[in-house]
Chains A and B, each alone.
Chain A
Amino acid sequence: MENLIALLVAAPLVGAALLLCGGKRLDRAGHWIGTLLAVASFAVAAVLFADMLGKSAGDRALHQHLFSWIPVGGFRADLAFQLDQLSMTFVLLITGVGSLIHIYSIGYMEHDERRRRFFGYLNLFLAAMLLLVLADNYLLLYVGWEGVGLASYLLIGFWQHKPSAATAAKKAFLVNRVGDVGLSIAIMLMFTTFGTFAFGPVLAATGDTGEGKLTAIGLMLLLAACGKSAQVPLQSWLGDAMEGPTPVSALIHAATMVTAGVYLITRSGAIFNAAPDAQMAVVVVGAVTLLFGAIVGCAKDDIKKALAGSTMSQIGYMILAAGLGPIGYAFAIMHLVTHGFFKAGLFLGAGSVMHGMNDEVDMRRYGGLRRYMPVTFITFGLGYLAIIGFPGLSGFFSKDKIIEAAFAKGGTEGWILGGAALLGAAITAFYMTRVMLMTFFGEKRWDPQEVHPHESPKTMTIPMIVLAVGSVFAGGLFSINDAFVSWLEPVTSFEHGHSPLSATATTTATIVVLLVGAGLAWLMYGRKPVPAVAPRGSLLTRAARRDLLQDDFNHVVLVRGGEHLTRTLVYLDHSLVDGAVNGTAATMGGLSGRLRQLQSGFVRSYAVQMLGGAAVLVAATLLMRGV
């Protein structure tokens, strides 16, 4: 059975190779090949899952060793896979949602002349993401980690004739690379500390290691997670990444890749459990980001950017939960999965709206669309209810657990974190209601002469329906008898948190803040018409529109500063370094004068000089013989 693991990665990898090297011959069939291989990978995952369910919880993990990858001295990196319950969860999410989005893209990208290449990149992404979650050591994980970064780069910049898309792609890669440095330093630290960086031995040895080393490793892993998962302070790329085609935003920048940071922290749980300071940093990052993303999401008029803010915020919840240790890991992953359903569904819905609205993204130019796109409206609406945590739907179960766990952290910290999580839930309800109202309700703010909104084709609506079903039921299913928690427990371990608030009190509070947030949004965007041009807004609104000034900060400090530095260095290299070396040479032997002579001289004279040099050389050596 373990020999099937490689097939999970191989199927989409073969697809990518075929589609990217296959040339124009494959233009007509390319999207089918890509979709088929994604589905094939999902089928393999389903088989492995069924097999895993048949075994007892203790020995579900499978290992496949392919070959020794980099063996140098004590440094041993293997190409080897590990499929346990945590990886399995991700594999199902990645291949499942991935297959749906492949199908959706057949319709969405129908008129794009480079559709074959698009599917090639999507396949490449699947392969890299599966490698990331299946690797059995940190270095191989790093390959997948940067691999998804590459796929993300290629897909954000897919319409690279647009300068904005090319810039966004570059920015995403660069910011991610800052995080990647963290991961690579973490691996180096593991190597010097443990002599290995394979999950098994490293995570087993944390008990014998000093806390300082573990804290350092933990913080570096957190830096990596911040880059990939768009957490403060490396969050600035995600909003711009919306330049990519919408299926990409759904798959990579909502459901899967951006959650890799949560995977990394959960996978490295043993390290964080033994390093409370690193854990503290994780929860702070999570709490700050969940509020940051939510505030940004409130101010955006671009539907995709509003959703991107929301993604950032929801991942903030997951990171927060992962930072809580064994009381939170399972809930982080559970929210990750339910979020995968509803956020992918919301993005596909947004794509469907754009598809019918001539690629318009400004919600101020939408309005009243529910009558024109009923399927999109209903599926989007279900996703909406799920994300705000409407009782009974997926988000309700997973988010509620995180809020409870945050309170259970205990002490003042617990109250602050729990309060932040609750506040985040209120803001979530506000901005999502705002999106819903501005898009599907109210007056038409578009010109019926130019725009003819219509429902999308079946290839697009069916994936939306499937995801909507998941958004409604997944959370409830996972919670029956704590099924999800007991499934993950052998890998992530689990402890019951003891919250100062009773479960009922937390749930009530969650519902109350939900109603407050949604009600406020209705007062502002439902009861009165939405202006087609954005009002100036308060200072906070204006700052939030500019992503709370993160880019302005980066621009002034990093971009401008960097430009000055490189320009100065280019100048100095020419005048100072080059000049100094040449100058030394000149003073030593009057070389610069000779240099000019040489330049004007004949080719023959060089040869003579070289010959002369050689003669001197031999003579000198002969002379030395006498010494």
Chain B
Amino acid sequence: MSFPLLTATAVVPAVGAVATAALPAAKRTAAKWVALSFSLATFVLALVIAIRFTPGAKGPFQLTESHAWIADFGVRYELGVDGIAVALIALTALLIPFVILAGWHDADPLEETRPNRRWRPTQGFFALILAVEAMVVISFEATDVFLFYLFFEAMLIPMYFLIGGFGDGAGEHGEEQAATQRSYAAVKFLLYNLAGGLIMLAAVIGLYAATADQLGAGTFSLPQIVEARAAGHLHLGAGTERLLFLGFFFAFAVKAPLWPLHTWLPNAMGESTSPVAVLITAVVDKVGTFAMLRFCIQLFPEASKWATPVILILALISVLYGALLAVGQRDIKRLIAYASISHFGFIILGIFAMTSQGQGGATLYMVNHGISTAALMLVAGFLISRRGSRLIADYGGVQKVAPVLAGTFLIGGLATLSLPGLAPFVSEFLVLVGTFSRYPVIGIIASAAIVLAALYVLVLYQRTMTGPVKAEVRKMPDLRVRELVVVAPLIALLLFLGVYPKPLTDLVNPAVEHTLSVVDKQDPKPDVHVDATTGGSRPGHATHGDDAEAAK
């Protein structure tokens, strides 16, 4: 038996979490380094996965592991990755070290106000982050629906404590009020997601019942169900399939989050520290959109097509609504949260447009949004920690005193508004073109977000960074070395993937083709047949255009 690479990638951060949590109170600094080391080790393993993975190889999943687990009711410990999962595992493993580094001092203030000796905030903070990472990774790997569900739900626990337990000390009305708002945000996060999860649970059980009924033995295995379906052994019936689909989709839509289930996100991202906000939007929420692609569409292809019109409309509303609300925010972090809602709208739009550009773009969007939001949010966190306020109006003229901070903030912002040359442009354009080719009107309306994104980003930049220097920011220090180490690689990556996204598209394309083949959807054909190979891109030949023009 070969080395269980996928298991190892989830176990390493889990072990890291335990190791970090076990360190005594005095070993605060050591705890940080231990957490960082484990997160880096996980990243190395994620890279190994990416290298061992062969894009386009036969079969939907690779590096599979399969063990009987709860044999009594068909639950298996079954892991496997496709290109989409590999990309998202890599994203997660990449971001966690930056999250840890950015949050290096986030738990320090709590050390002074420790209620008792047993509670060790620093150890707790970093252990929880690693615990989330472990659960997210295994959610991306699980091909058994039940296994997936278990961790999809379980990650709420560490997330809940991360949101409720650690603030940025920048509340508008003092720390006491902030603590109340924080616990409100944490509970809201928990209740929304639990509600989604409970409905999904019913659907999970329903799926088991259906398979048990028709296949003889109940199963949660995604590949088995897909195969049985394709072979004609499994007919869910339109009504059942739709109900099950809705159960799954509801949970993922809460997590994603899709309008109108989005309201927990601004609270959660606003109240938590910015590394945790990154964890929420760049990592945990991606499980929702990922699961739409992997489970909703592949388990319930007919119902997916049935629900498409409504989902597209909701996604379109998310795109515009999120952007418009971002324009109206006074709080930097809530602004970024609403921008994320708009971006998640794009991702869902791409997924349900059911074209290779749409779904490929949506997958790229998940990765790129993760990197760009991390860059913007973490720099925003550095800014907020310097001034002790999240309100946009409390800033002004920062670029004069901290030009590097302002510059990185601008680049993060430009990535958020999908400037060509940076990675998010590639994915946003693919989603738009993929949507447009099947639903032109929706594609055109969604394009309005191109303008709105520029509006909320540039207004944010203008109000905080330009203009006369406010007295309160006059002594603001520029980025420190640790902070630069966090931001610089993210920016480099945004540039690289903007200019050369091919490694990512090569990884993702076969997986998207597989998904589309499960749903039996083909890309719309162009109206006019053009032989693109004779076009202008080959060296040494005059283009058709020139010939035609010259002939006139």
**Contact surface of A with B, Cβ cutoff 8 Å:** 2, 20, 58-59, 61, 63-65, 67-76, 78-80, 82, 84, 136-137, 139, 142-143, 145-147, 150, 153, 157, 160-163, 165-167, 170, 173-174, 177-178, 180-181, 184-185, 187-189, 191-196, 198-205, 207-210, 213, 269-270, 326, 489-493, 562, 565-567, 569-570, 573, 577-578, 580-581, 585, 591, 595, 598-599, 603, 606-607, 610, 613, 617, 620-622, 624-625, 627
Contact = CB atoms under 8 A, between A and B. Distances in A.
A204 B543 contact: yes
A599 B458 contact: no
B543 A199 contact: yes
Contacts of A606: 160, 190
A567 B399 CA distance: 28
Contacts of B527: 192-194, 209-210, 213
A61 B437 contact: no
Nearest to B327: A566
A581 B436 CA distance: 31
Contacts of A70: 426, 429-430, 501-502, 505
Given A177-B450, A188-B437, A198-B535, A71 B205 contact: no
Please classify the interface of chain A as helix (H, G, I), strand (E, B), loop, or mixed, using the class held by over half of its residues: helix
Interface in B42-74: 72-73
A157 B552 CA distance: 46
A504 to B, nearest CB: 29
B536 A72 contact: no
A253 B454 CA distance: 21
B356 A142 contact: no
Nearest to B330: A570
Nearest to B524: A192
Given A61-B542, A143-B420, A69 B454 contact: no
Given A166-B462, A180-B450, A624-B205, 4 more contacts: A70-B502, A80-B536, A193-B528, A569-B328
Sorted from nearest, which 5 A-B pairs have the closest CB atoms?
A200-B536, A204-B544, A73-B356, A200-B543, A195-B526
A61 B448 CA distance: 37
A142 B146 CA distance: 46
Please classify the interface of chain B as helix (H, G, I), strand (E, B), loop, or mixed, using the class held by over half of its residues: helix
B491 to A, nearest CB: 10
Interface string B279-292: 00000000000000
Contacts of A71: 502, 505, 509
Contacts of A150: 414, 419
A71 B505 CA distance: 7
Given A166-B466, A562-B327, A567-B328, A181 B505 contact: no
Interface in B187-234: 187-188, 190-192, 194-195, 201, 205, 208-209, 212, 218
A58 B327 CA distance: 52
A161 B400 contact: yes
B2 interface: no
A167 B328 CA distance: 18
A518 B264 CA distance: 67
Given A68-B502, A161-B467, A170-B458, A595 B356 contact: no
Interface in B455-493: 455, 458-459, 462, 465-469
B157 interface: yes
The listed residue with most B CB atoms (<10 A of its CB), out of A188, A199, A202, A599, is A188
Given A75-B433, A82-B543, A160-B467, A570 B328 contact: yes
Contacts of A181: 447-448, 450-451
Contacts of A64: 539
B191 A595 contact: yes
7 contacts: A65-B538, A79-B499, A153-B458, A161-B400, A166-B462, A617-B153, A624-B73
A208 to B, nearest CB: 5
B532 interface: yes
Contacts of A490: 546, 549-550
B239 interface: no
B543 A75 contact: no
The listed residue with most A CB atoms (<10 A of its CB), out of B183, B419, B543, B547, is B543
Interface string B520-535: 0001111111111011
Given A73-B356, A203-B544, A617 B437 contact: no
Contacts of B458: 153, 170, 173-174
Contacts of A580: 260
B338 to A, nearest CB: 9
A198 B537 contact: yes
B323 to A, nearest CB: 10
Interface residues of B, number: 109
A345 B458 CA distance: 32
Interface in B211-263: 212, 218, 259-263
Nearest to A618: B70
Interface of B: 72-73, 146, 153, 156-157, 160-161, 180, 183-184, 187-188, 190-192, 194-195, 201, 205, 208-209, 212, 218, 259-263, 321, 324-325, 327-329, 355-357, 360-361, 397, 399-400, 407, 414, 419-421, 425-426, 429-430, 432-433, 436-437, 440, 443-444, 447-448, 450-451, 454-455, 458-459, 462, 465-469, 499-502, 505, 509, 512-513, 523-532, 534-550, 552
Nearest to A269: B549
Given A177-B454, A192-B526, A204 B328 contact: no
A566 B328 contact: yes
B545 A72 contact: no
B528 A2 contact: no
B440 to A, nearest CB: 7
Nearest to B532: A196
A136 B539 CA distance: 11
A188 B432 contact: yes
Contacts of B212: 627
Contact of A199 (B433, B466, B545): B545
A99 B124 CA distance: 58
B474 to A, nearest CB: 13
B72 A147 contact: no
B542 A59 contact: yes
Contact of A595 (B187, B525, B534, B546): B187
B208 A624 contact: yes
Nearest to A153: B458
Nearest to B197: A613
A178 B260 CA distance: 28
A76 B535 CA distance: 12
Nearest to A85: B546
A161 B466 contact: yes
A608 to B, nearest CB: 12
The listed residue with most B CB atoms (<10 A of its CB), out of A201, A489, A585, is A201
B528 A163 contact: no
Given A269-B549, A581-B263, A192 B468 contact: no
A202 B324 CA distance: 36
B547 A204 contact: yes
A163 B467 CA distance: 5
A209 B527 CA distance: 8
Contact of B538 (A59, A63, A203): A63
A73 B537 contact: no
Given A157-B466, A163-B467, A136 B537 contact: yes
A73 B467 contact: no
Contact of A72 (B357, B420, B550): B357
Given A69-B501, A490-B549, A490-B550, A185 B447 contact: yes
Contact of B546 (A2, A75, A165, A491): A491
A200 B537 contact: yes
A153 to B, nearest CB: 8
The listed residue with most B CB atoms (<10 A of its CB), out of A64, A67, A581, is A581
B451 A603 contact: no
Nearest to B420: A143
A204 B450 contact: no
Contacts of B357: 72-73, 75
A567 B325 CA distance: 8
B131 to A, nearest CB: 13
